[in-house]
């Protein structure tokens, strides 16, 4: 049952136009583009701290393909952080070669684990690359987590190429935002450690 008050409020508000919806979508897209490198930094930090957690806290020895992924991931934290602090528009050019190569290596490693690819020269000695230290929900393994991180970093960095991300934060160098992003990633890994035991 519609009251007079409800009808009056609806008439005053009017219908939502396509221009208003489009304007809201543009604002969300613009906000994402401006903060995209912080998303990439968070993904790189979580992946870095997560891999160190698996090897240094849980004692899981990385295989050869894990090391290749680490070589591609670890520098991204420093590259993205320095790029943000310097407000360097060239950051995507520095990040994407590493993250896209990381996607290829992580995909290959995941296929080795899934036994789609049965042989890897990189894994002939030492820890077998086909071993699964974790197997959450039947498909989430460490290479899968690395793959997700590399994809997020690549997508976010690509979005930053077309956005004015240099305007994010207060005037000057965004020290607080960069430090807060890295610290939040470290806290997240610590919380997951407490939850997972």
Q: What is the pLDDT of residue 165?
A: 53
Mean pLDDT for each consecutive 10-residue tract of the chain (197 residues)? Answer: 51 53 54 78 96 90 92 97 89 95 95 82 74 81 95 93 55 81 93 82
Q: What is the pLDDT of residue 35?
A: 82
Q: What is the pLDDT of residue 170?
A: 44
Q: How far apart are CA 131 and CA 62, in angstroms?
A: 10
Taking the domains of the chain in order of start, what are their residue ranges? 20-163+172-196
Q: How far apart are CA 48 and CA 77, in angstroms?
A: 8
Q: Which helix (H) or strand (E) holds 185?
A: helix 175-196
Whose structure tokens read 């610290």? 183
Handedness of CA 189, 190, 195, 197 (dihedral sign): positive
Handedness of CA 144, 121, 62, 96 (dihedral sign): negative
* pTM for this model (two decimals): 0.77
DSSP symbols for 29-72: HHHHHHHHHHHHHHHHHHHHHHHHIIIIIS-PPP-HHHHHHHHH
């Amino acid at each position: 049952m519609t009251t007079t008050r409800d009808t009056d409020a609806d008439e005053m508000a009017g219908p939502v136009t396509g221009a208003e919806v489009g304007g809201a979508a543009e604002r969300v897209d613009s906000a994402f583009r401006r903060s995209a490198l912080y998303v990439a930094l968070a993904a790189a930090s979580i992946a870095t701290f997560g891999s160190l957690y698996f090897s240094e806290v849980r004692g899981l020895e990385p295989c050869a393909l894990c090391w290749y992924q680490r070589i591609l991931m670890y520098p991204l934290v420093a590259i993205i952080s320095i790029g943000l602090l310097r407000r360097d528009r060239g950051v995507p050019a520095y990040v994407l070669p590493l993250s896209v190569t990381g996607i290829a290596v992580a995909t290959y490693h995941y296929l080795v684990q899934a036994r789609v690819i049965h042989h890897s020269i990189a894994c002939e000695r030492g820890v077998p690359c086909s071993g699964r230290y974790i197997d959450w929900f039947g498909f989430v393994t460490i290479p899968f987590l690395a793959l997700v991180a590399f994809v997020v970093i690549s997508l976010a960095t690509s979005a930053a190429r077309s956005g004015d991300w240099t305007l994010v934060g207060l005037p000057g160098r965004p020290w607080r935002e960069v430090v807060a992003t890295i610290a939040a990633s470290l806290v997240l890994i610590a919380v997951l450690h407490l939850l997972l035991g």
